Structure 1
Amino acid sequence: MSLSESPSTDLAYQRAILSSVSRTFALTIPLLPTKIEKVVGNTYLLCRIVDTIEDAEDLSPEIKQKLSQLFLDAVLEKLPIESFVEPCLKALEHYGNLDELDLIAHTPTVLRILHTCSKDDQAAVSRCISIMSDGMSYFHGKQTQAGLKDLREFEKYCYVVAGVVGELLTTIFSNHSAAFAKSMKGHDELAIAFGQALQMTNILKDSPQDHARGVSWKPAGISQKALLKISYQKLQNSLSYILLIPKTELGMRRFCFLAFGLAVMTLSKIAQRNEFSNQGEVKLSRKTVMAFYTFTKFAVKSDVLMQTFFNLFSKSLKTEI
């Protein structure tokens, strides 16, 4: 085994590139227990590759669908990894994010790490990536200025790009914690809502940027006020999900609550504006993010404290409703 293929070197790359492609998840994922951190971090990078194909503005829907299928076949070991990496990098030769291009070039590294995870975890990741990749392929041809055709299609989009991640997290956490598995039995809908709430936040936050490139992921004819109402309901279910996580699993609680809290505060800023022309207007400052990061150390030990935070910071969302 060469040095480039050693498990420790691969994991070092995974942690380093995670910091480069996601400020938020670089904060949240290391909060998880080590074995879970590895597989969740790995899954995030696989999802980021799918997202990179999605985000490439100069690629046609047909090319995006082809690359998505090649990637899925590589993940499922139906094709050699090079069958995806080489055509993908060629198609993205004018893509501006060098960190994401580096991640695609290191797809073999990411998949080597996946194959060191348990068979149960690998199966869960494969299911997630399959649903996400197929789902995004379905939506590649639906990118329009007008938005998705209705709320049903909006919910479907939010499921295939994020709700399925909520399901994945529940499966991974359950594989490593019997107490978590017992607590979550019968609450699958809450796991989906957790993922969807985070995605709805991103859609609303990124809407000016999407609009500038002639795309909208909002449902056509639905107001921001109505979308905030739906998001608030998803956030309520998300908090219910977090409160079900046993207090013996503080890492899992903190991972979920940190992502949840940042979404709540972002949506609160959006709700206080009738409109905004740049995502910078509603982006949380690093100071705010780090202050909340510190707060989560204590908050996750108290259901009352987490509920109080939500009640306080969702006031503007409730006012909208």
Structure 2
Amino acid sequence: MNSAIHLTENLNSDLAYQKAILGSVSRTFALTIPLLPPAIEVVVGNTYLLCRIVDTIEDAAELNPAEKQRLSKLFLEATLGTIPVASFVSPCLDALRGYSNVDELDLIAHTPTVLRILHTFPDRDQAAINRCVSIMSDGMSHFHNRQTQAGLKDLAEFEKYCYVVAGVVGELLTDIFSHYSPEFAKRIQGHEQLAIAFGQALQMTNILKDSPEDHARGVSWKPAKMSQAELLKIAHKKLQDSMSYIILLPENEIGMRRFCFLAFGLAVMTLEKIASREEFSNRSEMKLSRNSVWIFYAFTKIAAGNTFLMKSFFSAASKQLRKLSARNY
């Protein structure tokens, strides 16, 4: 009995840390993840933190490609349980001594906490998460040596990059949603590609928004010799597929719909801002105001259960994107 109480207390402590650090490392996901049904909120939050650790290694400008590959490999092995977690945490914190984001360093130091929570999930959720982290970690390692000022080789390589860092997350969400909702599991059959587009649309938004900062540090994740307008046209198509994905979620699953629609809407509004400018020199210029975010957050309460309202928002908020999409390049 005492042992069971002790385990419960430990898990509650771990979950409290997960909730707190989520708010520190991502304002956006700290806003969207709590909208999910409690049964999957913890699973998606845990997955986000695992992916954030991979991202932190990727974003560390002070690490060379070989060091990033080594740490990504250690993280994957620790997640899959083939090495002790300390065999990842110690060398990673050592390598990131000069890293400035203290919240992300704290997250890495608490990798054991995040993995303990992971191991409480049903086997099928753990398997889906392990697949996602494996593809993301291996995929990012593949691209570590491909960072150049000119950008990725071509559109196919760009699509692959967006898949390994975000499209695979769309697949994971679909797995988790399907485990939770048999109705969604039926609806998504034959439309799985929409899940990938949903993740890729969000990633393309980040790539375009962050492009000035990436350029300043000598890298680009955009395809070489492809204009911003051409990329926005592709992003708009992926947003259309994302809308189709959200509509497949059952109307009574308001939490799942709000979670997806909020992330989608923020991406639409950000890309629309980018589309209205020929160029910009800082991502802060493309940042949505706090007021805009909260107004849209409130709107999702009304709109998430109403397909007509969601489609109306998309149409009204993407006028510049639609104009670009109508042009031939």
User: What TM-score results when the alignment is normalised by the length of structure 1?
Assistant: 0.99
- Alpha-carbon distance between aligned partners in 2 of 1:21 and 1:212, rounded to the nearest angstrom: 23
Match for residue 119 of structure 2? 115
Matched to 2:224, the amino acid is A
Check conservation: 1:4, 1:10, Cα contact below 8 A.
Answer: no
- Alpha-carbon distance between aligned partners in 1 of 2:8 and 2:150, rounded to the nearest angstrom: 47
Check conservation: 1:72, 1:129, Cα contact below 8 A.
Answer: yes
Q: Structure 1: which 5+ runs fail to align?
A: none
- 1:99-114 equivalences under 5 Å are 99-114=103-118
Match for residue 150 of structure 2? 146
Q: Which one is further off, 1-10 or 130-139?
A: 1-10
Matched to 1:310, the amino acid is F
Check conservation: 2:252, 2:305, Cα contact below 8 A.
Answer: no
Q: Deviations over 1:181-212 (max 9, x none)?
A: 11111111000000000000000000001111
Moved over 3 A (4+): 1-5
Match of 1:213 among 199, 217, 221: 217
Matched to 2:72, the amino acid is S
Matched to 2:64, the amino acid is S
Establish whether residue 25 from structure 1 lines up as the match of residue 26 from structure 2: no
Q: CA RMSD in A?
A: 1.1
- 1:154-173 equivalences under 5 Å are 154-173=158-177
Matched to 2:236, the amino acid is Y
Establish whether residue 224 from structure 1 lines up as the match of residue 228 from structure 2: yes
Match for residue 79 of structure 1? 83
Q: Deviations over 1:224-267 (max 9, x none)?
A: 00000000000000000001101111100000000000000000
- Alpha-carbon distance between aligned partners in 2 of 1:259 and 1:301, rounded to the nearest angstrom: 16
Q: Deviations over 1:93-125 (max 9, x none)?
A: 000000000000000000000001100000000
Query: 1:5 Cα deviation (Å)?
Result: 7.2
- Alpha-carbon distance between aligned partners in 1 of 2:136 and 2:319, rounded to the nearest angstrom: 33
Match of 1:133 among 133, 137, 141: 137
Check conservation: 1:89, 1:104, Cα contact below 8 A.
Answer: yes
Query: 1:4 Cα deviation (Å)?
Result: 11
- Alpha-carbon distance between aligned partners in 2 of 1:28 and 1:181, rounded to the nearest angstrom: 22
Secondary structure of the residue aligned to 2:63 is coil
Query: 1:3 Cα deviation (Å)?
Result: 8.4
- Alpha-carbon distance between aligned partners in 2 of 1:289 and 1:161, rounded to the nearest angstrom: 24
- Alpha-carbon distance between aligned partners in 2 of 1:278 and 1:60, rounded to the nearest angstrom: 25
Check conservation: 1:5, 1:109, Cα contact below 8 A.
Answer: no
Matched to 1:51, the amino acid is D
Query: 1:129 Cα deviation (Å)?
Result: 0.1
- Alpha-carbon distance between aligned partners in 2 of 1:129 and 1:163, rounded to the nearest angstrom: 12
Check conservation: 1:250, 1:300, Cα contact below 8 A.
Answer: yes
- Alpha-carbon distance between aligned partners in 2 of 1:180 and 1:158, rounded to the nearest angstrom: 25
Match of 1:196 among 178, 194, 200: 200
Matched to 1:21, the amino acid is V
Match for residue 176 of structure 1? 180
Matched to 1:186, the amino acid is G
Check conservation: 1:145, 1:214, Cα contact below 8 A.
Answer: yes
- Alpha-carbon distance between aligned partners in 2 of 1:190 and 1:61, rounded to the nearest angstrom: 32
- Alpha-carbon distance between aligned partners in 1 of 2:25 and 2:299, rounded to the nearest angstrom: 24
Establish whether residue 274 from structure 1 lines up as the match of residue 259 from structure 2: no
- Alpha-carbon distance between aligned partners in 1 of 2:261 and 2:101, rounded to the nearest angstrom: 29
Check conservation: 2:89, 2:108, Cα contact below 8 A.
Answer: yes
